[in-house]
Structure 1
Amino acid sequence: MKHSPNDLIMLFNDLFRETFRTVLVRGGEEPEYLPADSHNELARIVFAHGFYASALHEVSHWCIAGKHRRTLHDYGYWYCPDGRTAEQQKIFEQVEVKPQAIEWLLSVAAGSRFHISVDNLSGAGACDQQGFAYRVLQQAEAYLANGLPERAQAFFDTLTSFYGTSDSFSKTWREDVRRVVPLHFAKEHYEAN
């Protein structure tokens, strides 16, 4: 299946341009969220390098940002770029669990490949890469059991419809969990189901 970021742009913008006055746009080096202002009537989710996965990740952040946060540049969050210390990385991993869980579910809904990202290649690396992956899995499973946030659910439904993955989602999800999370972490959970 071919995955074009243009499809995500079209789907997202058709779904959210009018209701949330927000558009998804292709960007350059760094992803960024730009709220509406006196020069731009629409908020913009800018994803990096035109990468499909970057678009899904940035949409995931938007899906959990509350109304006030969506009025702030980059949702008002602290961000320390690649090269973080171990302490900075620990904070980064804590705040990335929910967006990466949503990104993973959106990726499976779109039939695209997801990768856990600790995003610290030139720094101290991950604090606990396997533990982080497992926490992302736990959050994704909680979303599946209890429901995604409203905007995430709307985009998830749009993706499963567009890519025709509704009927195969559960099977594909279980397969992807085995690929993404080391088996010794997920084995007990999936043997019980």
Structure 2
Amino acid sequence: MTHRTLARLGHGRTGIARVGIAAVSVAALGLVIAGCDNGEDPTSSKGTTPSVVDKEAALPGASVQETPTTGEATTGAGGVVTASLKTTSGASAGTVRFGNDSGATHIDIKLENLRPGEHTLAIHQLNACVAADDFASAGSPIASAGTINVNVNANGAGALVTSTDAVKLDDLAGKTVVVTDESSGAQDASTAVACGVIGAA
């Protein structure tokens, strides 16, 4: 009988059909609300807004980590610091970027305009790069920070992305990066060929 009534209403009497459907919808809504009632009285006390939790972190023992993308250093609380390298003649020798990498220090090295062969990068104590003294103004290398070896190709360029726990990001500002030429073509062993003061990016 219901199907026949709806068929007749389809011929110009849709108003009555809509009222019937609305009545059914209201009744269904009442059942849903009644089912959600937990039996507690409403309160006027103000609550707190819950924090947003990643669904993975909500699982017991799970943790959430941000993964760096495209080889760029991630920006954490300490931000990113950069050393713009210059040769003794004042030409650009590349950049070294330091950033946060889940507690370690992320290092992105790009070298240019250098002699082909192996080069070593070290962090030095002072914040000066004077070409006239072959970058002796940078002070002594920080032994605990270690060194990084980068091979420079025939075009004078080299690149390396790595991370280290040997030095903290917050300790780098005001220090220097000194590049030494370890290749067989260097005039002197471990010749300093580039330097850059580490500062805010």
Tell me, yes or no, whether TM beats 0.5.
Answer: no
Which has the larger helix fraction? 1
Could you say which structure has the higher strand fraction? 2
If the TM-score is normalised by the length of the shorter chain, which range does it land in?
under 0.3
TM-score, structure 2 length as denominator? 0.21
